[in-house]
């Protein structure tokens, strides 16, 4: 579907998911086959998960505020600062854009999912990629979200973080054009590249410590969201999984 404003695009995401499920359910009934659609972030071990990369730009009337044909990269300062805001608030954003325990099975190195808080012009190992198109098509691609997220909440907090970057001129640093997965931890630290939360527990604690993102959600939604996440994490952490039984049962 074509890009629109945040609200219409969130509606389109929901419509897309419901339509795909309905079509495949009908196919399965007609063909008597066990087809199933899932938008689970990581349904299978050992293969890439399902992401929901979000392309974003800001327009004022007909003008794309992310475009600057006179800059070396074709990006405006607003675009750079928007990315700076996303990178600065990324830990808290992750609780909203990757909201279930399974989300963090996708956000691991080696499976084309972003783990490292950096941006690049042609770099698919970074959290933010800048597609090659310029002019009115100039945009940034935030690669962390997965399709388990609530798009209304996810788009709201990403916009809030990016606009905070513009308003406060948050510097995203220099673009990273090397494969970050191949760097050692020491090399990443020397370059100032930090990591996203590695679990829902880490993510919701980061959200608790970010008043801007909590404010974007509002008191009611942020409180209820965190209550649900505490409950989900508690349910998850007391489970015993097949991996543990296979590894430890005969010790």
pLDDT at position 179 over 90: no
More confident residue, 1 or 117: 117
Strands 116-120, 126-129: pairing is: parallel
103-117 pLDDT per residue, tens: 999 998 877 788 999
Q: In sequence order, which residues have a C-beta less than 8 Å from that of residue 251 and are 6 or more positions away?
A: none
- pLDDT confidence of residue 91: 97
pTM of the model: 0.92
pLDDT (mean) for 23-52: 85
- The string of DSSP codes covering the chain is -----HHHHHHHHHHHHHHHHHHHHHHHHHHT--------S--STTS------EEE--EETTEETTB-TTSSSSB-HHHHHHHHHHHHTHHHHHHHHS-STTHHHHSSTTSS---EEEEESS-TTEEEE--S--GGG--EEE----TTS-HHHHHHHHHHHHHHHHHTT----S---S-GGGS-HHHHHHTT-EE--SSHHHHHHHHHT-HHHHHHH-HHHHHHHHHHHHHHHHHHHT---HHHHHHHTT-
Closest to 92 in 3D by CA, of 185, 183, 197, 237: 197
Q: Where in the chain is the domain with CATH 3.30.590.10?
A: 48-248
pLDDT (mean) for 21-47: 84
198-223 pLDDT per residue, tens: 999 999 999 999 999 999 999 999 99
- pLDDT confidence of residue 25: 84
Q: Phi and psi (nearest 5°) for 137? A: -90, 5
52-89 pLDDT per residue, tens: 999 999 999 999 999 999 999 999 999 999 999 999 99
Distance between CA atoms of residues 78 and 82, nearest Å: 6
Closest to 13 in 3D by CA, of 222, 162, 153: 153
120-176 pLDDT per residue, tens: 988 878 999 999 989 999 999 999 999 999 999 999 999 999 999 999 999 999 898
CATH architecture of the domain covering 48-248: 2-Layer Sandwich (3.30)
Lowest mean pLDDT among 20-34, 41-55, 56-70, 237-251: 20-34
Strands 140-142, 63-64: pairing is: unpaired
pLDDT at position 30 over 80: no
């Amino acid at each position: 579907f074509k890009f629109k404003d945040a609200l219409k695009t969130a509606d389109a995401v929901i419509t897309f998911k419901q339509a795909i499920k309905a079509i495949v359910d009908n196919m399965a009934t007609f063909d008597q086959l066990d087809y199933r659609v899932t938008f689970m972030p990581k349904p299978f071990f050992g293969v890439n998960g399902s992401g929901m990369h979000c392309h974003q730009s800001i327009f004022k009337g007909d003008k794309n505020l992310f475009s600057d044909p006179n800059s070396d990269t074709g990006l405006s300062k607003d675009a750079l600062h928007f990315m700076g805001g996303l990178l600065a608030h990324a830990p808290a954003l992750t609780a909203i854009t990757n909201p279930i325990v399974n989300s963090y099975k996708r956000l691991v190195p080696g499976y084309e999912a972003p783990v490292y808080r950096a941006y690049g012009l042609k770099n698919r190992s970074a959290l933010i990629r800048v597609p090659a198109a310029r002019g009115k098509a100039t945009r940034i691609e935030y690669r962390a979200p997965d399709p388990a997220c609530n798009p209304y909440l996810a788009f709201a907090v990403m916009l809030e973080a990016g606009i905070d970057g513009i308003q406060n001129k948050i510097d995203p640093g220099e673009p990273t054009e090397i494969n970050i997965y191949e760097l050692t931890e020491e090399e990443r630290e020397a370059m100032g590249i930090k990591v996203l939360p590695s679990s829902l527990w880490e993510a919701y604690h980061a959200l608790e410590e970010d008043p801007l993102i909590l404010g974007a959600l509002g008191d009611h939604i942020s409180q209820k969201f965190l209550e649900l996440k505490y409950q989900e994490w508690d349910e998850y952490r007391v489970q015993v999984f097949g991996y543990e039984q296979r590894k430890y049962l005969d010790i």
